[in-house]
A and B are shown apart, each in its own frame.
Chain A
Amino acid sequence: AQKITQTQPGMFVQEKEAVTLDCTYDTSDQSYGLFWYKQPSSGEMIFLIYQGSYDEQNATEGRYSLNFQKARKSANLVISASQLGDSAMYFCAMKVVNAGKSTFGDGTTLTVKP
């Protein structure tokens, strides 16, 4: 079985600063994908970034980067130059290749302060 752990229920960051949201995962499978999603207060979950288990480079998408440390089974999300619109709940998720479902963490609520 897969498990995702997000140890930070809530985080605060000053506008324009960088912030790291932690995610550790547990699986015995070798082929899997790791994902981060953002959920604003409106409710819709928005896909942010993906990292494959065999990818050697850390994934980046604009201001988002994924700090992938396979040996430690961690997949932290780094948001650079935080904006007020980044205030939301952030979910880490993983999916094993050939499995039907994804496993989500409990989420981290990020608040960006002006």
Chain B
Amino acid sequence: ETGVTQTPRHLVMGMTNKKSLKCEQHLGHNAMYWYKQSAKKPLELMFVYSLEERVENNSVPSRFSPECPNSSHLFLHLHTLQPEDSALYLCASSQAQGTGAYEQYFGPGTRLTVT
């Protein structure tokens, strides 16, 4: 595997379900990100992890819970979601910010539909 991978690619879940999105990066990066992209809305940053510590939580509802067990893996745990949470969820990685401004490499995304 190369680059940034995300699983599953598509997910349909009911409002009472619990599911998790997984992201893995094979680039040797140490910063990882979750973004939400809704139709006809700007890209929204959700969480940033740098060196496995959460450094940014962009006022995301608690029904989204991130986890970064190591620098290569990032999870987004979902529970009791709402229909408006249906979107494309993108994971990205980069060199750790702090000494420069580095480009991000994105995964293919998980298209989530909440019914």
Docked CA distance A42–B107 (Å): 11
B111 near A: Cβ within 8 Å?
yes
Taken residue by residue from 82 to 115, chain B's Cβ proximity to chain A (1 for < 8 Å, 0 otherwise) reads as 0000001010100001111111111111010000
Max count, chain B CB within 10 A of own CB: residue among A31, A52, A94, A97: A97
Task: Contact check, A43 vs B104: say whether CB atoms are below 8 A apart.
Answer: no
Does B12 make an interface contact (CB < 8 A)?
A: no
Q: What number of A residues sit within 8 Å (CB to CB) of B?
A: 27
Whether A91 sits at the interface, judged by CB under 8 Å, is: yes
CA distance A95 to B92 in the complex (A): 14
User: Is B56's CB under 8 angstroms from A100's CB?
Assistant: yes
Given contacts A33-B100, A33-B101, contact A101 B45 (CB under 8 A): yes
In the complex, what distance in Å separates the CA atom of A102 from the CA atom of B84? 24
B44-88 with Cβ < 8 A to chain A: 45, 48, 50, 55-56, 58, 88
* B111, closest chain A residue (CB): A43
Contact of B108 among A31, A43, A47, A50 (CB under 8 A): A43
A-side contacts of B88, CB under 8 Å: 43
Is A44 within 8 A of B106, CB to CB? Answer: yes
Mark each residue of chain B from 25 to 51: 1 if its CB lies under 8 Å from any CB of chain A, else 0.
000000001000000001101001010
> Chain B contacts of A46 at CB under 8 A?
106
Query: Do A45 and B90 touch across chains, with their CB atoms under 8 A apart?
Result: yes
Sample of 4 further A-B pairs with CB below 8 A, known A98-B99, A101-B33: A33-B102, A37-B106, A47-B103, A101-B48
Q: 11 A-B pairs, CB-CB below 8 angstroms?
A: A32-B101, A37-B106, A44-B106, A44-B107, A50-B103, A95-B101, A98-B98, A99-B97, A100-B55, A101-B33, A101-B48
